[in-house]
Chain A
Amino acid sequence: MDRDDLLAALARLVPPERLLTRAGALSAYESDGLTAYRARPRAVVLAESADEVIGTVRACHAARVPFMARGSGTSLSGGAVPIEDGIVIALNRMNRVLRFDPEARVAVVEPGVVNLAVTALAVPHGLYYAPDPSSQSVCTIGGNVAFNSGGAHCFRHGMTANHVLGLRVVLGDGTVAVLGGDSLEQAGADVTGLFVGSEGLFGVALEITLRLVARPAVYRTVLAAYDSLQAAGDAVSRIIESGLLPGAMEIMDRLAMDAAEAAVHAGYPTGAAAVLIVECEGDAAQVAEEFEQLLRILSASGAAHTHVAADDEERARIWKGRKSAFSAVGRLSPDFIVQDGVVPRAKLGEALATIEQLSRTHGIRVANVFHAGDGNLHPLILYDGREPGAHDRAEVLAAEILRLCIRLGGSITGEHGVGLEKRAFLGEMYNEVDLDCMRRVRQAMDPHGVANTGKKLGPPSGATASHGLHPLERAGVISRA
């Protein structure tokens, strides 16, 4: 099959209203949450079944035309930017829950199911789906699997890979494989874990078996305000050293707090340089003791002020502020880069001090929001894209922050993935032997290299850079973390 036959093949797979080829219809699929990149696909297939996805993958493989599977397009690393002149497989319509078994504590879902919808399904049975990326009200499980999404509660609960027990996937050459199963325990090599986080380079997940966990009986959430970012970071180290195991530990600096406060009136203290949010979770008696110890540590850590969430409503407001922080920063600056890097937790203070210094040296404002318990930094680099060269200068600073993370023994990405954005840095974190192995594994799963071509391992996809907020983000529909 040559490239020209491909559209005809796709037209045999899906009805015309689900095969988009006109420029106007395609434009909605040109970019994702990382709006600096854009590319025009040749066509979009609005898939409604696994067979349609398999058929599309096989047609693309035969025609050697790249494809990209897409959920809600909230990727912050350009992972869901189409391949120029390639095919987009839109999975949002594949949003069925195929099986829900509260006794076995699993849900089997299609990739287009929205993250929060899984929890909505499970809550009546005292269960929930733990991974909670900030975009969880719109992002899909398929995208979460592709990018091994994180969230605010990874400190205790881990990432998406820790919550996916089984998969049915179509590999890049159209072969269908079943990985893992329903059990928490695996029989044989845990290849499910390898598929998670592969950024679409191995193929497309068609069915995903998710592990559901008991909903904590109690949450206790406290806000602690500090006079410096460093003091907030040190408090996190003390909490970890003390042997407590909170569900989440998050820090926001003044700039991020102000933005969040303006956006959602979360009730964050005014005037503080940084705020630390710590949440304990579990059964009531255990949490009561843990929370008491936590408050003692916070008061000894030089917190200028602590405030305990009085009820669920206040807790929800605190988290809403935190989870909308990225998009709220759009109020402070016309454009910004959301960076995502990891440092060893004990080096948080050093990393933050260096970022502050870099910000001053470059004369570029940086807002900091981060998953402190994981050492996962999200510096927001603010710039005005209308100023000539501003975007490039911001990218130079972003690169320096990533190199700082590598130098401190951390990672170039904690949860957003490599995507298009960080391909150049993968080779600074891993050596040529490691990269060669990654390329060969990819080639084994996708011999023609058509699955999400150009992401993670390169080569370049031909996407072009621009900037600005995602249209959905401007409208306040989605947020970033």
Chain B
Amino acid sequence: MIVQPASIDELAEVVPAHVRLRVRGGGSKPALSSPLPGVTTLDLSALTGITEHTPEECVFTALAGTPIAEIERTLAPHRQYLPFDPPLAAAGATLGGTVAAGFNGSCRYRFGGIRDFLIGARVVDGRGRVITSGGKVVKNAAGFLLHQALVGSCGTIGVLAELTFKVFPAAEAHATIGVEVGDVASAVRVVASVQRAGIDLEAIDVVPPKRVWLRLGGFRSALSTRVAILQQAIGPNAMVLYGEDDAAVWRQAADVSWAPAPASLVRVPMTLPVLPGLDLCLAPTHAPRRYTIAGNLGLIAWPGTLDTLDTMLRDLGLTGQVLRGAPERPWLGALAPNAFEQRLRTVIDPDGRFAGVPAGR
């Protein structure tokens, strides 16, 4: 069964009327949103629209089902952008879905992720109550930061109905540097050394086996000087891309087009020191993969059954989130029960309506 509320009031009415619910936005991360037997699909694609945008405030509020693409189109004329670089916009990703999945893009390296830019939300709890958390100003220490806990909650705590974000001014121009390296170990060395080069980067991605992509953004007049400093730090094996060539590299990263279906797409939070060990395990499988955010996130296009990957991640103490693949198994690898999160769930969703997917983590 599918229900499709078109307003927050309708959403609040619909929730208590269904025993089990699974939220769906644009469906761009199907493992999180595809229908499950016996579970009502709560389709938020009609709960759409930017309800408030004050460019001079660098703040906007939008309903959860608003496509990322629409938000980007609205911000662009004001030379503003979403610094967490939401992926899968072309595939129809929505604002709410992006927040619920906690899925940041490569260029979040520069200023921060969803958690750093989300300043408030209206959340519908399991009893249909509409709860306001945070506010519409960039600094706010009143109340609890309940909206933060919804980031990455995959729709299993409460339903995000409306979100307020702060945004930043977009860079005037960009440049991309592609570095050819011998192997993943030397890629990690490049990442560490460019981080120490004193140049602020927008993105640092490693694409095994032999590529590191760097992106800079800023004033057009300063770009070439900054690129030259980086080239000096990197050495001769670097190509520099501007304009459409630069944009294409990051569009491909944001679309995750290097990981076509039917391979599962798995998101693995990690740190740079862990990267060589993880890649050593993954290399023999030939699974396409990309390490974004300076080694803080691994994205893996896994071809076969997820059991092998599950074991591999568990052995490394890492957790994997399945974004595309079998919906029965949203989490892989090391899972630790979290008393804090479990208790929060009993408050926001006392009847277990949103637990359609086995509880996360």
Contact = CB atoms under 8 A, between A and B. Distances in A.
B148 A188 contact: no
Given A175-B339, A345-B56, A148 B145 contact: yes
A422 B142 contact: yes
Contacts of B150: 189-190
A182 to B, nearest CB: 5
B141 A417 contact: yes
Contact of A104 (B196, B198, B272, B344): B272
A442 B340 CA distance: 11
Nearest to A77: B141
Contacts of B133: 434
B131 interface: yes
Interface in B33-85: 54-59, 79-80
A131 to B, nearest CB: 12
A385 to B, nearest CB: 27
Interface residues of B, number: 86
A114 interface: no
A434 B129 CA distance: 9
A183 B293 CA distance: 10
Interface stretch (B13-21, B219-227, B245-253, B301-309): B219-227
Interface residues of A, number: 92
A189 B132 CA distance: 18
Interface in A173-218: 175-179, 181-198, 202, 214, 216-217
B93 to A, nearest CB: 17
A430 B137 contact: no
A255 interface: no
A175 B338 CA distance: 11
A191 B140 contact: no
B168 to A, nearest CB: 6
A303 B19 CA distance: 63
A433 B86 CA distance: 31
A313 to B, nearest CB: 21
B273 interface: yes
A344 B148 contact: no
B199 A177 contact: no
A237 interface: yes
Contacts of A126: 196, 198
Contact of B219 (A161, A237, A289): A289
Given A104-B271, A169-B340, A183-B269, A431 B144 contact: no
A438 B168 CA distance: 30
A438 B169 contact: no
Given A177-B339, A178-B338, A190-B102, A240 B56 contact: yes
A240 B200 contact: no
Contact of B269 (A185, A191, A445): A185
A412 B125 CA distance: 25
B151 A190 contact: yes
B5 interface: no
Given A245-B168, A441-B344, A193 B137 contact: no
A187 B138 CA distance: 25
B314 interface: no
A119 to B, nearest CB: 17
Given A191-B148, A343-B137, A346-B57, 13 more contacts: A126-B196, A126-B198, A178-B338, A186-B151, A188-B152, A371-B139, A409-B137, A411-B139, A413-B141, A429-B135, A430-B143, A437-B146, A438-B144
Interface of B: 54-59, 79-80, 102, 104, 108, 111-113, 115-116, 125, 129-133, 135-146, 148-154, 156-157, 168-170, 172, 192, 195-196, 198-200, 218-219, 221-222, 225-226, 229, 267-273, 293, 296-297, 319-321, 331, 336, 338-341, 343-344, 346-348, 360-361
30 contacts: A104-B272, A148-B141, A150-B139, A156-B111, A162-B115, A183-B297, A185-B267, A188-B102, A188-B152, A189-B360, A193-B145, A197-B144, A197-B145, A237-B56, A241-B55, A243-B79, A284-B198, A286-B226, A289-B221, A289-B222, A344-B59, A344-B137, A409-B135, A409-B136, A418-B143, A430-B132, A437-B131, A441-B348, A443-B347, A444-B344
